[in-house]
Structure 1
């Protein structure tokens, strides 16, 4: 569903401005459901959300995503202020990851996230040890994604249902500490001349592999 189709949401009215995305003010009697935001009902909702969440309060959307979330987490190392992190966060939101973990520097470039970091739990760990402790406490298998010798082909394995998918930063890939922490390492099959796939692209490929293996597709939008 694209934003240009959002006028089909219940109670929605189209924007009067040509080319504007989202939906206009709510038409008719307002819903009594407390999940709805009075400001959005009154003025319209131009956020990049699916129709089911139109006019909802931000915290209500986040709570519902947490309820519907899948039992996998996504982690990415941030030792060089990687610009791909925003893309990873946005993709994690799209696939309803249980959470995103930033390992290393706390600050990261949010531009690529397109505000999706407001709806998914984002955790920070100064070192890889913090991430592994989080995973161990919850029985999550740390799955490193790296094209190193001995890595299993993503295309030939089934990812653990409850896991943390761990990605390195663009360029150097995973740190030695991250590789050592992994219970499983997988690589994406490549056939061209480039040494590695872009970190944001790799994250999307691996998350989708998890979805193909474990997700209930009847719950997709």
Structure 2
């Protein structure tokens, strides 16, 4: 069976100014399991983590950007930026139709996404949670939601 990447689409996931490096390792492990095409950081760099037991950072492309502006200039052609943020303008994840080609951006647990990232996101999504979640858990929920839905938008 031949896989058509244009039909299937792709996604990458990363964190802007991640607070704790351990969360990166857990997110990368989930990203590898959920079929991410690449992973990235903006601001704080990834450092080897014991929590990345599958060594995902060596198994898929990893990119680092010093600033959001640098990251935004390097978005893959045709990819939609999906910010994950608890914001009044954000769409509920439960009804969100994931773009076929997209990049998910999460913010640090204590500050969330930067104002610039929120403004430049093509979509903002949020999901119900009684309390604040760890960034790696939030990212894993978004990736699971993507994999569980069979239809994609543009």
Same fold? TM cut 0.5 = yes
Whether the aligned pair in 2 keeps the contact of 1:100 and 1:122 (CA below 8 Å) is yes
Aligned to 2:13, the other structure's residue is in SS state: strand
TM-score by length of 1: 0.60
Structure 2 partner of 1:133: 73
User: 2:104 matched to 1:165?
Assistant: yes
Q: CA deviation at 1:177?
A: 2.2
TM-score by length of 2: 0.84
Larger radius of gyration between Structure 1 and Structure 2: 1
**Structure 1 residues 96, 111: closer, same or farther in 2, change over 3 A?**
same
Q: CA deviation at 1:116?
A: 2.0
Q: CA deviation at 1:156?
A: 1.1
Query: Structure 1, residues 35-56: CA drift from partner, whole Å, max 9, x if none?
Result: xxxxxxxxxxxxxxxxxxxxxx
Structure 1 partner of 2:14: 75
Measured in 2, the distance between the counterparts of 1:207 and 1:121 equals 17
Measured in 2, the distance between the counterparts of 1:107 and 1:75 equals 10
Aligned to 1:124, the other structure's residue is in SS state: strand
User: Over the residues paired in the alignment, what is the CA RMSD in angstroms?
Assistant: 2.1
Whether the aligned pair in 1 keeps the contact of 2:18 and 2:107 (CA below 8 Å) is no
Higher RCO (C-alpha under 8 Å, 6+ residues apart):
2
What aligned pairs does 1:1-221 form with structure 2 within 5 A after superposition?
A: 71-78=10-17, 80-108=19-47, 110-114=49-53, 115-135=55-75, 137-190=76-129, 192=130, 194=131, 196-214=132-150
Q: CA deviation at 1:129?
A: 1.5
In structure 2, runs of 5+ residues without a counterpart are 1-7
User: What is the number of equivalent residue pairs in this alignment?
Assistant: 144
In structure 1, runs of 5+ residues without a counterpart are 1-68, 216-221
Q: Structure 1 stretches (4+) deviating beyond 4 angstroms?
A: none
Whether the aligned pair in 2 keeps the contact of 1:81 and 1:105 (CA below 8 Å) is no
Whether the aligned pair in 1 keeps the contact of 2:21 and 2:49 (CA below 8 Å) is no
Q: Which has the higher strand share?
A: 2
